[in-house]
């Protein structure tokens, strides 16, 4: 049997961890809070990167690279940003080790203390805006649309693979504009890129909206977010895009001469998604047998298992599968033939189910004789016997169907757990059962905080593009007037 996975209904959190570990996505490292992303997990992240990178570039964004370290003094520049970020981080204080005087190993050389401590970037607004100061003189230098793919470090106390780790991988876009309007449009454009990526590639329905002031990024005037529902009904923030106003330009004195020759501060955005998306992928689609990967992100889209008793049967079934493999690869699909001779087919089936491979073909001597192959879908766990005539185009279409079904299933799940709620008593009860509740809110930080203190629920977003929420009413907690509903949920 393949490795046992805890059932979701027994222990959801352990189920998540089992999937991440046993499907060979990642594991804890020897360094507290830092993970190792294993090849199978990294292959999924590479697919995410390559698709997102293309989407960014289509909007005119170009990649660059900025330093890992940020001088400590930079964190004192933008007051709100400090409050939000500068605290839990990795601080470099020395630049040399030396042999220990007692002859055992190495120690930090006390003579190699840095004049100014360096912070390992938790995010790069400060170092990037200190750089943009040299790049921007006139309106002709704008806009600047840069992105970087890199690692960042936030010293989290409680970590979980992918969802919250001290070091994680991400992309951070940082743009500079001549007008507020243009910067706001950019922030909006990028959150829509994230929403499209989630929907079309990750098969993940998301709600797009503004964060409440309480939940905004440190230093932002507006934070846009995409929020996804996991299978326990909790919300996961999957990507954010910030309109930063002129805050960073003012902190780092970045001005440009406009067309009239007058100096103005530059307008900014930043936006990012991280390896947290891997956590979303696991939790949104996985089942008690393991991962369920959408075909567009699956490193292996089709796995083929030969079923045989004799050497002759082995040779014949492998040859049959090899033919199908060639056709599928010609259509651009990634295929693996599992020809390991020491394992039983049932073991292999369970292993590839655990790893979430969308389609499995099994071929035995009888299939060969009848010109058929057994096709199993990972998402529905159903099997059927299919003729070898036109098998490649059949599977090509099937992969599209699977991509769509996975999305539809996740959407149906979310729809079954999202509802309007206008009673505080009901709210307190329902929010604990794992639901997104659409409620009226009076727009004050105080009310949001009181609701959070009472229930742990937060405003996940104030939806955009949602007519369901556009109505007058009264706040679910304070009873004060409200102009629209917002999404409350307990979150990761």
Pairing relationship of beta strands 473-474 and 458-463 according to DSSP bridges: unpaired
In 3D space, the residue among 83, 84, 135 whose CA is nearest the CA of residue 249 turns out to be: 135
The strand pairing partners of 70, in sequence order, are 119
CB of 251 to its own copies, least distance (A): 12
CA distances 425 to 83, 422, 431, 432, Å, are: 35, 9, 10, 12
Could you give the angle at the alpha carbon of 336 between the alpha carbons of 330 and 339, nearest 5°?
A: 130
Q: Which residues contact 432 (CB under 8 A, 6 or more apart)?
A: 455, 490
Could you give the angle at the alpha carbon of 272 between the alpha carbons of 86 and 216, nearest 5°?
A: 55
Taking a C-beta distance cutoff of 8 angstroms, is the pair 170, 248 a contact? no
Pairing relationship of beta strands 167-177 and 206-210 according to DSSP bridges: unpaired
CB of 96 to its own copies, least distance (A): 6
In 3D space, the residue among 175, 192, 191 whose CA is nearest the CA of residue 267 turns out to be: 175
Query: Which CB, 259 or 262, lies closer to its own copies?
Result: 259
Query: Which CB, 91 or 450, lies closer to its own copies?
Result: 91
Query: Which CB, 42 or 217, lies closer to its own copies?
Result: 42
Query: Which CB, 98 or 468, lies closer to its own copies?
Result: 98
Q: What is the DSSP string of 174-238?
A: EEEESSHHHHHHHHHHHHHHHHHHHHHTS---EEEEEPPGGGS-TT-SEEEEEEEE-TTS-EEEE
CB of 148 to its own copies, least distance (A): 8
Query: Which CB, 94 or 383, lies closer to its own copies?
Result: 94
Query: Which CB, 79 or 331, lies closer to its own copies?
Result: 79
Taking a C-beta distance cutoff of 8 angstroms, is the pair 125, 84 a contact? no
In 3D space, the residue among 123, 55, 52, 117 whose CA is nearest the CA of residue 85 turns out to be: 123
Q: Which residues bind its own copies (CB under 8 A)?
A: 27, 29-31, 34-39, 42-43, 45-46, 62-76, 82, 86-98, 104-106, 108, 117-120, 127, 130-131, 134, 146, 150-151, 153, 155, 167, 169
CB of 105 to its own copies, least distance (A): 3
Query: Which CB, 147 or 403, lies closer to its own copies?
Result: 147
CB of 353 to its own copies, least distance (A): 21
In 3D space, the residue among 171, 140, 215 whose CA is nearest the CA of residue 46 turns out to be: 171
CB of 166 to its own copies, least distance (A): 8
Query: Which CB, 109 or 288, lies closer to its own copies?
Result: 109
CB of 295 to its own copies, least distance (A): 20
CB of 40 to its own copies, least distance (A): 8
Q: What is the DSSP letter of 363?
A: E
């Amino acid at each position: 049997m393949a490795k046992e996975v805890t059932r979701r209904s027994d222990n959801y959190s352990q189920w998540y961890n089992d999937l991440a570990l046993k499907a060979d996505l990642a594991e804890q490292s020897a360094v507290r809070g830092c993970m190792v992303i294993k090849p199978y997990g990294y292959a999924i992240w590479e697919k995410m990167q390559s698709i997102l990178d293309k989407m960014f570039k289509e909007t005119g964004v170009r990649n660059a690279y900025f330093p890992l370290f940020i001088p400590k003094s930079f964190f004192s520049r933008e007051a709100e940003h400090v409050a939000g970020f500068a605290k839990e981080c990795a601080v470099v204080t020395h630049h040399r080790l030396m042999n220990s005087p007692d002859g055992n190993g190495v120690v930090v050389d006390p003579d190699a203390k840095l004049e100014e401590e360096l912070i390992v970037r938790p995010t790069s607004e400060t170092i990037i805006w200190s750089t943009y100061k040299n790049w921007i003189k006139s309106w002709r230098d704008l806009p600047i649309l840069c992105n970087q793919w890199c690692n960042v470090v936030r010293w989290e106390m409680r970590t979980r693979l992918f969802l919250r780790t001290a070091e994680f991988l991400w992309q951070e876009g940082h743009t500079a504009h001549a007008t507020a309007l243009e910067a706001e449009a950019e922030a909006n454009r990028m959150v829509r890129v994230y929403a499209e990526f989630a929907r079309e590639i990750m098969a993940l329905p998301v709600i797009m909206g503004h964060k409440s002031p309480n939940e905004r990024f440190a230093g932002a005037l507006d934070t846009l977010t995409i929020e996804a529902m996991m299978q326990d009904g909790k919300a996961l923030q999957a990507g954010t895009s910030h309109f930063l106003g002129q805050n960073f330009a003012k902190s780092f004195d970045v001005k440009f001469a406009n067309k009239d020759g007058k100096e103005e501060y530059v307008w900014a955005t930043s936006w990012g998604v991280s390896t947290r998306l891997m956590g979303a992928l696991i939790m949104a689609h996985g089942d008690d047998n393991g991962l369920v990967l959408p075909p567009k992100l699956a490193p292996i889209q089709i796995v083929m298992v030969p079923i045989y008793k004799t050497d002759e049967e082995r040779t014949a079934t492998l040859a049959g599968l090899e033919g199908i493999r060639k056709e599928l690869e010609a259509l651009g699909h990634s295929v693996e033939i599992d020809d390991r001779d020491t394992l039983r087919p049932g073991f292999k089936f369970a292993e590839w189910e655990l790893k979430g491979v969308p389609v499995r073909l099994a071929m035995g001597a009888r299939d060969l004789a009848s010109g058929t192959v057994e096709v199993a879908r990972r998402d529905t766990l159903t099997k059927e016997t299919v003729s070898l005539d036109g098998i490649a185009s059949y599977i090509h279409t099937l992969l599209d169907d699977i991509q769509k079904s996975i999305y539809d299933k996740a959407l149906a799940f979310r729809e079954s757990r999202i509802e309007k709620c206008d009673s505080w008593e009901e709210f307190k009860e329902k929010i604990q059962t794992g639901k997104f509740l659409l409620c009226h809110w009076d727009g004050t930080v105080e009310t949001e905080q009181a609701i959070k203190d009472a229930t742990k629920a937060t405003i996940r977003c104030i939806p955009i593009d949602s007519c369901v929420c556009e109505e007058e009413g009264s706040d679910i907690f304070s009873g004060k007037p409200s102009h629209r509903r917002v999404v409350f949920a307990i979150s990761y």
